Amino acid sequence: MLGLAVAAMVSVPRLAEAPATAAPAVAAPHAEAFCATGGDVHAHDEHGRARVRYGARTAEPGSRVSAGVAEQVERELDRQEITGRLLRSTDDAKWIHIPVHFHVLHNGKKGKVTKKAVLEQIKVLDTAYRGKKGGSSARINFYLKKITWTRNADWFGKPQQYETDFKKKLRKGGDSTLNVYTANLGSELLGWATMPWDYKKEPANDGVIVHYDSLPGGKIKHYSLGYTAVHEVGHWLGLYHTFGRAYPDEDGCSAGDRVGDTPAQKEPTNGCPKKAPDTCPAWGRDSIHNFMDYGYDKCMTEFTKGQVERMRTAWSRYRL
């Protein structure tokens, strides 16, 4: 999850054949129908799923992913690959198409995100997950299903307190539908998300919340290109931070992110360094350009092949 974040039932194919060339930008197969980037790198990141601004000193909402839950998830994902439900030999030709219900919480003029900004955010998501910024393509296409605008000062200004209320009222679709909510997350948090294995137990809580000013064209310095949502959706699809699932209780060198091709990383990246540091004894420099780190938006450009495989395996196991 990202620190400061601007945090729609459909019957659609969850996994569909891709066009001969590229996936559609915003075409729907059928119509109808919780990380902080901080200056204080030791700011408490309870469940490793929230994003914060540089310099933030705040705890993200939610509970940490315990070692027991994490190990159970890994066993389930391992079995998913072994059973062949996600066959890489044939899956390369298929795209995952994800409908997005976008819920704008606002207080009159403040936070009333425009349709244009929402469409730009969907475009940023689609571009990032198709590998158009760099790295590997996840072969995931996001398309807008519906936008809702809800004027409620409490929901908009206190999203952590009222999260259960507005999600119960607004959330649409099933396990394969992405619900994104924008609200005022304050001066530190950027966003948070639920993980795919949480859905079965708490389906009504499923989704992503981002700071309304983190959307493309927003006013948060260094975090207004739309990559808070990209980062949070990465959690929604099953990815941990590159600096580990349990930071700061365990540094990334110890905990890791359970992805083989992302180098071990001790702590979050601050800003956008010209040269990637090497913070762990193991191979490789820190993944400062990875969408699942905490760098500035301008520094984020990629997912790795291993992250793509994990997301697609998690999709098949928990959201298909």
pLDDT, average across residues 178-199: 94
pLDDT tens for 40-73 read: 222 333 334 557 665 544 434 443 566 777 778 8
For residue 28, is pLDDT > 50?
Answer: no
Structure confidence at residue 77 as a pLDDT band (50, 70, 90): confident
For residue 112, is pLDDT > 50?
Answer: yes
* More confident position, 177 or 44: 177
For residue 213, is pLDDT > 60?
Answer: yes
Residue of 188, 232, 267, 309 marked catalytic: 232
* More confident position, 231 or 15: 231
Does residue 232 have an active-site annotation? yes
pLDDT, average across residues 293-315: 95
pLDDT of residue 281: 92
pLDDT, average across residues 88-104: 81
The reported pTM is: 0.81
Above pLDDT 90, what percent of the chain?
Answer: 62
Domain 16-319: give its CATH code: 3.40.390.10
Going from N- to C-terminal start, the domains of the chain cover 16-319
pLDDT of residue 83: 52
Classify the phi-psi angles of 139: left when phi > 0, otherwise alpha if psi is within -120 to 50, otherwise beta: left
The number of beta carbons lying within 10 Å of the beta carbon of residue 275 is 8
Distances (CA, A) of 275 to 53, 54, 261, 270, 296: 21, 18, 19, 12, 14
pLDDT of residue 1: 53
Structure confidence at residue 152 as a pLDDT band (50, 70, 90): very high
Distances (CA, A) of 176 to 141, 181, 284, 318: 12, 16, 34, 9
Ramachandran angles phi, psi of 14, nearest 5°? -80, -25
Structure confidence at residue 38 as a pLDDT band (50, 70, 90): very low
- What is the average pLDDT value for the chain, to the nearest integer? 81
